[in-house]
Amino acid sequence: MAATSTDVVVEPPGDVRCDVAVIGSGPGGAVTACTLAEAGRDVVLLEEGPLLALEATPAFSAQEMRAKYRNGGITVALGSPGVNYAEGRCVGGGSEVNSGLYHRTPHDVLDRWRLRFGLEHASPDEMAPHFAACEEDVSVSKLPGPAPAASLRLHEGAGRLGWSSIEVPRWYRYAPDGSSDGVKQSMTRTYVPRATGAGCRLLPDTRVARLGHDAGRWTLRCEPARPGARASSFTVRARTVFVAAGAFQTPALLLRSGIKHNVGRSLHLHPTVKVVARFDDVVNAPGMGVPVHQVKEFAPHLSFGCSISQPPHLALAMTDHPERISDVHEDWPHLAVYYAMSDGGVGRVRTVPGFRDPLVSFALDDSDLTLLADGLAKLCRCLLAAGATVLWPSVRGCPPIRSEADLALLPAILPRDRTSLMTIHAFSTCPMGQDRGRTVADSFGRVHEASGLHIADASLLCGPPGVNPQGSIMAFARRNALAFLDRA
């Protein structure tokens, strides 16, 4: 059964009752709903966004941003500097719009979470079967053919400097002819249809406004997510609730529902600074595949990679050099966007009465901005070694970099008023572990002192993993859902 078929969508005639309600259908929610439904539980999966096929809009297009992202993909965490971030808002969540790059949680990160947060039963050996199962379910694999030219340039530059660079696998199913053409195995291609095939009821275009608890059941106050999407408000009543609405919306829902202890106080991101690089030869082409190489020489605190580099993305990355934006139209085959990603800073998620979206703030201290500046300089050095002839960092007023000598022109600390930062990785707003002074939920995602309430998304991660987080989210969601079934 395809997740995009209308017969998987249930139009509630009134209030809905179920054993388990899962709020959010991204990687955490989809894995949870699938695991519980296939175990015979009566599951309702609620999603604020619409149900759209993976191919409903061109990948990485303006149409996709309008249809599948919250706020068109342009939201900002307030701070100095602010950090632009994007959230998927559709059935399948971020898995429908991201690049599909996959990592397991690094071993040293799991060890750090155990020591700092009291996270139990999450050693590398204990997590390995959950990672392996998810990898099989979404066909995690490396490219069967050559990587895009822009991706290879980063890899070659790192090799010339003696730095560690890897090809990151993706959740893709490739064509049998051995080419690099393939289909991303997003949640609407994998776990969501499995869940609905096992009897899970899917309710898209449904916003959960708040939670209540009475007489051993949770009450979900639901309302239309957009005008005309649904006729009226209704209520879902469930014995157990898994909240998987993402690192921003999960804490916002808990706060609106009066659940406040430690909620939303420990937001972590991967702040990212970008560089547009020009090469004399062609490195870009229409439909260029997703770049797959990352430089991990300085991980976990710094990582470098190649970003989506279609002309609209190039123009956006050039906004700090407005005099060069017009060049993108003619010169884009020679251009590509690269990034340096760090793990610094901490933020907060708050709710504001009368507003649907939460207020997000994020603070980077001078040491964080110094680390990012160091990452920017190292990334530029790597790209010069790869043969780039000119580099434009996302720092307003920064001159173009054309040689090793020009690296001295880069700031030693990124200026707060002239640096453009962004992120697509957010986590840690409801961390898990046994240390109640630091956490919102226990080691298996059960909210402290809220019986029957669980969290199943990036909120649970105890800190920045230093890698793309979807693999971590899926593995912990599977682990925690199976633990719930064992206890029930």
What are the residue numbers of the active site?
425
Pairing type for strands 426-427 and 268-269 reads antiparallel
H helix count then E strand count, the chain: 11, 23
Q: State the angle between helix axes of 470-487 and 124-137 in degrees (0 to 180), rounded to the nearest 10.
A: 100
Residue 20 exposure: Cα atoms within 13 Å on the Cβ side: 30
Torsion of CA 211, 213, 219, 222, to 10 degrees: -20
Sequence length of the chain is 488
Q: Please say whether the beta carbons of 333 and 238 come within 8 A.
A: no
From residue 279, how far is each of 148, 262, 391 by CA, in Å?
14, 48, 9
Residue 280, Cβ density class (10 Å: 0-12 exposed, 13-18 middle, ≥19 buried)? exposed
Nearest to 474 by CA among 3, 21, 20, 26: 26
Q: Please say whether the beta carbons of 95 and 31 come within 8 A.
A: no
CA atoms of 309 and 153, how far apart (whole Å): 14
